[in-house]
Chains A and B, each alone.
Chain A
Amino acid sequence: MLVAWNYRYRNSPMDHIDPRARFIFSFAILFAATTTWNPNILFAVFVIAITWYSLGRLTWKDTRFGWLMISIMLFTMIVINTIITGGGAGGVVPPGGQLVWPDGVSIFGRHLNIGLTVERLWFAVSQLMRILSISLVFIMIPYTMDSRAYGVTFSKLGLPDRLAYTMELSFRFIPTLARNFQVTLDAQRARGFELDAGKGNIIQKIRQVAPLLIPVTMNAIVSSEDIANAMDLRGFGQRKRTWLYELKFHWWDWAIIAFAVVMLAAVVLLAYHFDMRLFSVPNWWYGLFN
């Protein structure tokens, strides 16, 4: 059975914003944040995203699972990829630059030469602002949007019925997968399974988690067939679909959409017309390392 995200009505400002306006705003932030590497613009977008997030009145407890997932992604992308290996900065940060530790550092009595540059470190900060801006506006959606509103929102945004309902099902797939994973984990633990990450090579580790991954994957495939059958048996796709859940637009929804459009247009204008698209390091940042 498909599970919904843990939404509850909080009577927050976000609860009163039409989901269509919310999606339009969120995608405007996404495009704005990915249009430029300019630190000032990214910072402005980041501040707007934080303000938007605060409208949801979400607590840390509500969203900690989502933030945990994003933290893992951020750690991989920024700490490992950008700062340690430098790989993620390729093509954006020019080669060379000013070393953060020109004389190397001593760790546990060993002298190490670390090639981390001030530019790569600023790139990590910029990347952090970009990813956090996008995460802030999208992570809140499942927690602040009524599960009944997804299909009708995508439909009213112009997607065909089949695609709109597929989008709704996709949103519900993640919590469903999490629940199924927990059930399978319990069932295998009851057969003596213990996840021991420290043992064996990569092949052995993959084999070790096969008892978890195979049932969860197979169930996902089988349930997708079940869902398709259940929809067919109830006439899905027979004709243009209607929706029980009603959406209502208010003046503030128009205002939010107008703000989103103006914001995105301004970012595009600054990025392409005023040449503020490329990566640059502010002088004050260099000052911190001199």
Chain B
Amino acid sequence: MTENQPLPLVVENLTFQYHTRSTPAIQNLDLVLEPGQVMLLAGSSGCGKTTLMRCINGLIPHSYHGEMSGEILIHGQSVKGMGLSQISTHIGTLLQDPERQILGTYVLNEVCFGLESQGMSREEMLPKAYKALERLHILHLKDKETFFTSGGEKQKVALAGVLAMEPDILLLDEPLASLDPASAYEALLAFRELADEGLSVMIVEHRVEDVLAINPEKVLYMDDGRIIYNGDAAGLMDAVDYSRIKLPAPVIARRAKNRPAPHFQPTVPPIDPHSQPLVSFQDVRFQYTADTPEVLHGINLDIRAGEVIAILGHNGSGKTTTVKHALGLLKPTAGKVLLEGVDTKKSTVAEAAKTIGYVFQSPSQMLFAATVREELAYGPKNLRFSPQQVEENVNWAIETVNLEEELPTPPLALSFGQQKRVSIASVLSMRSRVLMMDEPTAGQDYWNYQAFMSTILQTPGFDAIVFITHDLDLALIFANRVVVLYGGEIVADGHPQDIFQDEEKLIKWRLMPTSLLKLNQQLWPKTGQYLRAEALSQFI
């Protein structure tokens, strides 16, 4: 870059307030992004990260309206005079959920969408599309239907669609949210490569520890709409509250020294290996339709009282499909699933709901009521609980997810993270014996998910808890049994310490060892158990 060349992105004194809000979402923000830099933008839910991104990529003010002041310069030119499509030639945006971004029905068409919008001929666009696909190692997917790609593949396809347009600034909004650990790592390496080739990359991410692995040149930490920290990665470690974002475990352990360790005492009953399983999968095979491939290949799994089971596995490994069988939402093509000894083929889902409370991945697919209180009362009323019992359950559930003040609010008016917590509470209020949660931490910030997972596990009433997660640390801290699925089969099932000790296997199953796992293994002779980073501080 020559000295006189304007910087790719400069934000000066930027403030924005949505029309629907009484206070600004972001205030007096300044930042500079240079060519070849990776910038990590971190902060807890609602801190203003997404608003800042929307201001930069033009969605504010084109799609979201409010009062904006300050300046955003792209290559020295103010965005005020630019249309969205003009901004899109410089800035490529990858949204948090690739399903909200993908437009094409086939991978190659999706990748070419932006090029078609630019009016390119087929001969011009194909080499660019192939180059983007090759860069992300997904050229083999070019003729695949986007709907049938896995979560990780969708993220890469969406990114390829952005890269094909050859932007010089890349905005990535929580790009790791739906990825398994290995896919997340591969995606991060791709972002680093792009920056090394001269792109300017801004990553908004809760998983701070993961992004630090690619050595971002700049780190910003936002809180309540303001930039609290703007510097290098090393400085961040001591500049922010370690309970708000996920820092590397050794850092948390060092900083938590001399502070009381968080109290955590799970309340599920002790495991009785001879008891009748609450749920029993017996050689379960499943395919969605006769002309599609089998997705579960002989699953055998007993869930007993006292177990806290983490189900891990790569994108598309069959985790959700397996769990849906427990409730009878899906019925096995072969084999059977017994719920308290009864074949799920012979009972209704509503009957199964008395035993199993199942929290779906996406809250927006289930929330409907006029208030959060009504939403939480819906399940227990369906199960014919008494009005007093409904009231008690609603109050307990809302306290568990720490949203008491939102009881009179319409659930659909809440933020995504809050909606997720309401969806969890609406299942908790049914006080089912077995709680099953599909990606309970998705869309949550570090503090919130640690808090509600701790609360749920310390709340009496559940015989067993099952959760699907991509977060190895969550399994390590909270589970007493880990089940790993790989390609529709259970490849590992046992205590976390038995499953997690073989790093090679973890990598093979696309689960990456974390700093918390490594620290736990290092301190194992002293602890004899897996602990969260704060609790490990006393053993260092």
Which A residues have a C-beta under 8 Å from some C-beta of B?
1-4, 147-148, 172, 180, 183-184, 186-194, 210-211, 214-215, 218-219, 222-223, 225-246
Given contacts A233-B93, A238-B86, contact A1 B100 (CB under 8 A): yes
Given contacts A192-B350, A233-B59, A233-B93, contact A241 B367 (CB under 8 A): no
Which residue from chain A places its CB closest to the CB of B356 in the assembled complex?
A190
Which residue from chain A places its CB closest to the CB of B146 in the assembled complex?
A1
Provide a sorted-by-A list of 26 A–B residue pairs whose CB atoms are within 8 angstroms.
Answer: A1-B99, A1-B147, A147-B106, A180-B365, A186-B349, A189-B349, A190-B356, A190-B358, A191-B366, A191-B382, A192-B354, A193-B382, A219-B365, A229-B59, A230-B103, A232-B88, A233-B58, A233-B93, A234-B103, A234-B161, A235-B118, A236-B117, A238-B83, A238-B86, A238-B88, A244-B125
B424 to chain A, nearest CB (A): 12
Please, how many angstroms separate the alpha-carbon atoms of A215 and B99 in the complex?
17
A-contacting residues, B416-446, CB 8 Å: 426-427, 430
Whether B221 sits at the interface, judged by CB under 8 Å, is no
Which residue from chain B places its CB closest to the CB of A231 in the assembled complex?
B103
In the bound complex, residues from chain B placing their C-beta under 8 Å from that of A222 are 364
B372 to chain A, nearest CB (A): 14
**B378 and A244 within 8 A (CB):** no
Whether B214 sits at the interface, judged by CB under 8 Å, is no
Which B residues have a C-beta under 8 Å from some C-beta of A?
57-59, 62-63, 83-86, 88-89, 93, 95, 99-106, 108-109, 112-114, 116-122, 125-126, 145-147, 161-162, 165, 324, 327, 329, 348-350, 353-354, 356-358, 360, 362, 364-369, 378-379, 382-383, 412, 426-427, 430
Which residue from chain B places its CB closest to the CB of A194 in the assembled complex?
B350
Please, how many angstroms separate the alpha-carbon atoms of A240 and B114 in the complex?
12
In the bound complex, residues from chain B placing their C-beta under 8 Å from that of A180 are 365
Given contacts A4-B105, A187-B360, A229-B59, contact A244 B350 (CB under 8 A): no
**A172 and B120 within 8 A (CB):** no
Can you name 20 extra interface pairs (CB under 8 A) apart from A180-B365, A190-B357? Answer: A183-B362, A187-B365, A190-B327, A190-B356, A192-B383, A210-B368, A215-B365, A218-B368, A228-B63, A230-B100, A231-B117, A232-B62, A234-B117, A234-B161, A235-B85, A235-B118, A236-B85, A238-B85, A242-B120, A244-B116
Please, how many angstroms separate the alpha-carbon atoms of A238 and B147 in the complex?
27
**B329 and A189 within 8 A (CB):** yes
In the bound complex, residues from chain A placing their C-beta under 8 Å from that of B84 are 232-233, 235
Please, how many angstroms separate the alpha-carbon atoms of A212 and B407 in the complex?
21
Which residue from chain A places its CB closest to the CB of B354 in the assembled complex?
A192
Please, how many angstroms separate the alpha-carbon atoms of A245 and B103 in the complex?
15
Given contacts A232-B63, A234-B88, A242-B121, contact A192 B105 (CB under 8 A): no
In the bound complex, residues from chain A placing their C-beta under 8 Å from that of B93 are 233
B149 to chain A, nearest CB (A): 10
| Residue among B63, B112, B348 making CB contact with A244, cutoff 8 Å | B112
B89 to chain A, nearest CB (A): 7
Would you list the 7 A-B pairs with minimal beta carbon distance, nearest first?
A: A192-B382, A238-B85, A1-B99, A214-B368, A187-B366, A234-B114, A189-B349
**A191 and B378 within 8 A (CB):** yes
In the bound complex, residues from chain A placing their C-beta under 8 Å from that of B354 are 192
Most buried by B among A187, A192, A211: A192
A155 to chain B, nearest CB (A): 10
A288 to chain B, nearest CB (A): 44
Given contacts A187-B366, A219-B365, A233-B57, contact A243 B103 (CB under 8 A): no
**B117 and A230 within 8 A (CB):** no
Please, how many angstroms separate the alpha-carbon atoms of A147 and B153 in the complex?
20
Most buried by B among A148, A229, A244: A244
**A241 and B95 within 8 A (CB):** no
Given contacts A194-B350, A244-B108, contact A188 B366 (CB under 8 A): yes
In the bound complex, residues from chain B placing their C-beta under 8 Å from that of A230 are 95, 100-103
In the bound complex, residues from chain A placing their C-beta under 8 Å from that of B362 are 183
In the bound complex, residues from chain B placing their C-beta under 8 Å from that of A223 are 100
Please, how many angstroms separate the alpha-carbon atoms of A240 and B85 in the complex?
13
| Residue among B100, B119, B165, B353 making CB contact with A190, cutoff 8 Å | B353
**B122 and A190 within 8 A (CB):** no
In the bound complex, residues from chain A placing their C-beta under 8 Å from that of B426 are 191
Which residue from chain A places its CB closest to the CB of B83 in the assembled complex?
A238
Given contacts A191-B378, A237-B117, contact A225 B63 (CB under 8 A): yes
B373 to chain A, nearest CB (A): 15
In the bound complex, residues from chain B placing their C-beta under 8 Å from that of A210 are 368
**A4 and B147 within 8 A (CB):** yes
**A227 and B116 within 8 A (CB):** no
Which residue from chain B places its CB closest to the CB of A193 in the assembled complex?
B382
B380 to chain A, nearest CB (A): 8
In the bound complex, residues from chain B placing their C-beta under 8 Å from that of A191 are 353, 366, 378-379, 382, 426-427, 430
